[in-house]
């Protein structure tokens, strides 16, 4: 089994990123054979909206250090920077020939992000899902660990792979249709101040977004001020989206079912429950924050890790792109 996933270097990583994606990466590294879990920091995707070049590089190092601090081992997985492997961009153009304009136009994230652009809605934003498909299909990945918000994009990847194989490789399929892996609990952590929208450093609230690198006192303050409801029962249900969000967060941290959290805090008030969540989040993130400080200080070492990962990634992706080129009649015939 081969696993692939990508993570944006933009913004600062928050609890939703950690629970919904990063912890899945570490789990995938444990489930897959060495070198068969592949994780990409997708700096090319970051170009699709307005950004600052200097900040992009800084955030990329931040993200690399957080991933390693969280448990990714470059000796066991493939960790690299997307722009270092040019096969991604070439395969994007090749796959655009079998991607329907209508499918891209229906992508929810394109609609949401384009609506927020005040000046330029770039073609890169529109083609974002094709590059995302190329990221995964280049490695013939079987599984893509993602948050719930990426479900639609993985379905499009499958459609692109299917359409390519039917047209250009009907007898011996070249591209693998990947399966998404979305956690049943924690796949979408919500904003602590507005539990109707997911936690985000770009579209969420500052007070409702717990950053992985937030100091302990800041984490506690954000959790303790989380919006709940006028009731007092620690249970999930309609009208209890805020408390339900906290229940799911604590259940992930403790690795138990949400029902176990509800049972444990039966009869307790929101204050006691929030303190338990705050303690849990602080303890959960503390080891990552401590190790991050050591790793982030050595940018030369981070560059060496990314370069080594890119070499491994290219060795996997290049043969796939060569197969695709040949099947499409691009360039001289192979062999």
255-272: average pLDDT: 95
Q: Are 13 and 154 in contact, with CB atoms under 8 Å apart?
A: no
Among 79-83, 85-89, 107-111, 197-201, the minimum mean pLDDT is found in: 107-111
For the chain, how big is the Rg over CA atoms in Å? 21
Q: What kind of architecture, by CATH, is found in domain 3-181+299-328?
A: 3-Layer(aba) Sandwich (3.40)
The model's pLDDT over 249-260, given as tens digits with 9 standing for 90+, comes to 999 999 999 999
Mean per-residue pLDDT over the chain, rounded: 93
Q: Where are the domains of the chain?
A: 3-181+299-328, 216-294
285: left (phi over 0), alpha (psi -120 to 50) or beta: alpha
Q: How confident is the model at residue 107 (pLDDT cuts 50, 70, 90)?
A: confident
The model's pLDDT over 182-232, given as tens digits with 9 standing for 90+, comes to 887 887 899 999 999 999 887 788 999 999 999 999 999 999 999 998 888
Q: How confident is the model at residue 276 (pLDDT cuts 50, 70, 90)?
A: very high
Other beta carbons less than 10 A from residue 147's beta carbon: 21
pLDDT (0 to 100) of residue 169: 97
Query: Which pTM value belongs to this model?
Result: 0.91
285-303: average pLDDT: 96
pLDDT of 45 above 80: yes
Q: Say how many residues make up the chain.
A: 335
Q: How confident is the model at residue 167 (pLDDT cuts 50, 70, 90)?
A: very high
pLDDT (0 to 100) of residue 207: 95
pLDDT of 149 above 80: no
146-171: average pLDDT: 92
137-147: average pLDDT: 93
Residue, of 64 and 21, whose pLDDT is higher: 64
135-161: average pLDDT: 92
pLDDT (0 to 100) of residue 11: 66
State in words which class domain 216-294 has: mainly alpha
pLDDT of 298 above 80: yes
- Asked whether this chain's domains 3-181+299-328 and 216-294 adopt the same fold, the reply is no
The model's pLDDT over 110-141, given as tens digits with 9 standing for 90+, comes to 777 777 777 788 888 899 999 999 999 999 99
pLDDT of 60 above 70: yes
SS (H, E, C) the chain: CCEEEEECCCCCCEHHHHHHHHHHHHHHHHHCCCCCEEEEECCCHHHHCCCCHHHHHHHHHHHHHHHHHHCCCCCCCEEEEHHHCCHHHHHHHHHHCCCCHHHHHCCHHHHHHHHHCCCCCCHHHHHHHHHHHHHHHCCCCCEEECCHHHHHHHHHHHHHHHHHHHHHCCCCCCCCCCEEECCCCCCCCECCCCCCCECCCCCCCCCCCCECCCCHHHHHHHHHCCCCCCCCCCCCCCCCHHHHHHHHHHHHHHCCCHHHHHHHCCCCCHHHHHHHHHHHHHHHHHHHHHHHHHHHCCHHHHHHHHHHHHHHHHHHHHHHHHHHHHHHCCCCCCC
pLDDT (0 to 100) of residue 129: 95
């Amino acid at each position: 089994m081969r696993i692939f996933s990508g993570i944006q270097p933009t913004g600062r990583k928050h609890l939703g990123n950690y629970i919904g994606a990063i912890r899945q990466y570490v789990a995938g590294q444990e489930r897959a054979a060495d070198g068969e879990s592949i994780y990409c920091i997708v700096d090319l995707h970051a170009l699709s909206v307005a950004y600052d070049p200097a900040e992009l590089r800084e955030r990329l190092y931040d993200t690399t250090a957080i991933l390693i601090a969280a448990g990714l081992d470059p000796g066991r997985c493939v960790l690299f920077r997307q722009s270092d492997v040019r096969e991604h961009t070439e395969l994007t153009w090749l796959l655009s020939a079998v991607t329907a304009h209508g499918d891209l136009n229906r992508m929810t994230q394109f609609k949401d992000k384009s609506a927020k652009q005040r000046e330029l809605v770039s073609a890169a934003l529109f083609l974002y899902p094709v590059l995302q498909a190329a990221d995964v299909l280049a490695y013939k990945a079987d599984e893509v660990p993602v948050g719930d918000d990426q479900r639609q994009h993985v379905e499009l990847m499958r459609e692109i792979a299917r359409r390519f194989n039917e047209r250009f490789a009907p007898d011996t399929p070249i591209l693998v249709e990947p399966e998404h892996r979305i956690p049943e609990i924690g796949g979408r952590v919500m904003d602590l101040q507005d539990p109707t929208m997911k936690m985000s450093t770009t579209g969420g609230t500052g007070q409702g977004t717990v950053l992985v690198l937030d100091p302990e006192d800041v984490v506690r303050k954000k959790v303790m001020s989380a919006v709940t409801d006028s009731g007092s029962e620690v249970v999930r249900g309609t009208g209890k989206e805020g408390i339900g969000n906290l229940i799911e967060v604590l259940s992930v941290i403790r690795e138990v079912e949400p029902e176990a959290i509800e049972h444990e805090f039966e009869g307790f008030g929101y204050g006691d429950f929030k303190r338990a969540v705050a303690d849990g989040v602080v303890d959960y993130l503390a080891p990552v924050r401590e190790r991050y400080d050591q790793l982030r200080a050595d940018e030369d070492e981070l560059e060496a890790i990314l370069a080594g990962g890119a070499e491994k990634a290219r060795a996997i992706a290049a043969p796939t792109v060569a197969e695709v080129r040949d099947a499409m009649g691009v360039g001289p015939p192979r062999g």
